[in-house]
Structure 1
Amino acid sequence: MADILITGCSGGGKTTLLDELAARGCRTVAEPGRRLIAQGIAPWDDAEAFLRAAADMAMADLAAHASIDEPVFYDRGLFDALAGLERIGVTPVADALGEERPYAGGVFLAPPWPEIYAEDSMRRHDFEAARDEYEHLAELLPKLGYSPLTLPKLPVGDRADFVLRKLAIA
């Protein structure tokens, strides 16, 4: 087992799912963007600098867990930051990654879920922007050679069961 990415729509329940996986004893890594905002680095101040910092943090997260022999679940990660840079016209993700393909354990994609979406102090964009972000990731991941599994719109415990079953962990 290796690095497993939980990505997709903002407000789609990713962090809640990671919290549930952590409560079940799984190793998880918090979203780089939220950690940066907690440090006072915000995307609304300088999007490119924020996304570059998120990419650097995601790469450091991957390096820090490289020798771990158990599954590691990442809340967002390198692809999210690089996809953001691509969306603002900085660098295509494929160019930034080269041949590297982290998250060999798999990728799960949280779809847009308006019933649970909520803005907060760290998520200032609206649902339409979140949906656009999701669509970009959903189109990008197969181009990078991934076959992301879409998370079902189910209660968090059932979602966690789904992830663990798909990975043959449960």
Structure 2
Amino acid sequence: MPRIIITGGPGTGKSSLLAALEQKGYPCFPEVSRIIIAEQQATGGNLFPWGNISAFSKECYVRMQAQLADSFTDISFFDRGIPDIIAYLRRYGSAIPAVYFQAKEHYSSTVLVCPPWPEIFCNDHQRPESFDETCLLNHHLCETYTAMGFSILEIPKVGIAERVDWVLKTIRNTL
């Protein structure tokens, strides 16, 4: 059962692409980090990546493991994967639990990357990063996935419908 990761820096159109894939009937799993941040903001919590990246990452890992357990169809899409946690921890110089590196066995070996794209970039309360920070994070993501042995394919900078078509065609030809 192929579990396809769609990754990229903040504000690069991942969530919009996943929503469009979901509308076509594909099982899609939302970005765990945004969910946690929104929950913490709503409840006055303090589990944020900008406050305690290690504790935040542990919670992301637990929830991403739950997503993996829930993905049992022929194909499913993930708005980020466990290797994203590794990339963020590397970016901020934090320790990385060894168990995180076992993630490769749970996902498709091909990862789709939404590149930084200034024309669609936007930030909000859950993703306050600047465009420059998005570019830097994108670099760390691609570097991490490549180092872990994943193949990286960059999603073209086209409209959502064309991106969906490209993703589906790529998956048919790659998997």
TM-score, normalised via structure 2 length: 0.87
Aligned pairs for 1:14-163 (under 5 A) are 14-40=14-40, 41-65=47-71, 68-92=72-96, 96-98=100-102, 100-104=104-108, 106-163=110-167
Q: Contact 1:3–1:105 at 8 Å: present in 2 too?
A: no
For structure 1, list consecutive stretches of 5 or more residues without a partner in the other structure.
none
In structure 2, what residue type is equivalent to 1:150? E
Using the aligned pairs only, state the percent identity.
34
Report the more deviating stretch, 80-89 or 116-125. 80-89
Residue 9 to residue 98, structure 1, CA distance change in 2 (3 Å) = same
Q: Secondary structure at the match of 1:149?
A: strand
Deviation at 1:148, TM superposition (A): 1.2
Once residues 126 and 119 of structure 1 are traced to their aligned partners in structure 2, the CA distance between those partners, rounded to angstroms, is 7
Residue 36 to residue 142, structure 1, CA distance change in 2 (3 Å) = same
Name whichever structure is richer in helix by fraction: 2
For structure 2, list consecutive stretches of 5 or more residues without a partner in the other structure.
41-46
Q: How many residues align?
A: 167
Once residues 98 and 59 of structure 1 are traced to their aligned partners in structure 2, the CA distance between those partners, rounded to angstroms, is 11
Once residues 142 and 94 of structure 2 are traced to their aligned partners in structure 1, the CA distance between those partners, rounded to angstroms, is 19
TM-score, normalised via structure 1 length: 0.89
Deviation at 1:91, TM superposition (A): 3.1
Q: Contact 2:30–2:79 at 8 Å: present in 1 too?
A: yes
Deviation string, structure 1 residues 26-51 (Cα, Å, up to 9, x no partner): 10000010110121142233222112
Q: Match for residue 43 of structure 2?
A: none
In structure 1, what residue type is equivalent to 2:80? R
Deviation at 1:7, TM superposition (A): 0.2
Residue 166 to residue 93, structure 1, CA distance change in 2 (3 Å) = farther
Q: Contact 1:55–1:82 at 8 Å: present in 2 too?
A: no
Deviation string, structure 1 residues 94-136 (Cα, Å, up to 9, x no partner): 7731484321263101111011111111111111111110001
Q: CA RMSD in A?
A: 2.0
Deviation string, structure 1 residues 46-88 (Cα, Å, up to 9, x no partner): 22211221122112211222xx132110001211112112222
Once residues 103 and 13 of structure 2 are traced to their aligned partners in structure 1, the CA distance between those partners, rounded to angstroms, is 30
Report the more deviating stretch, 133-142 or 40-49. 40-49
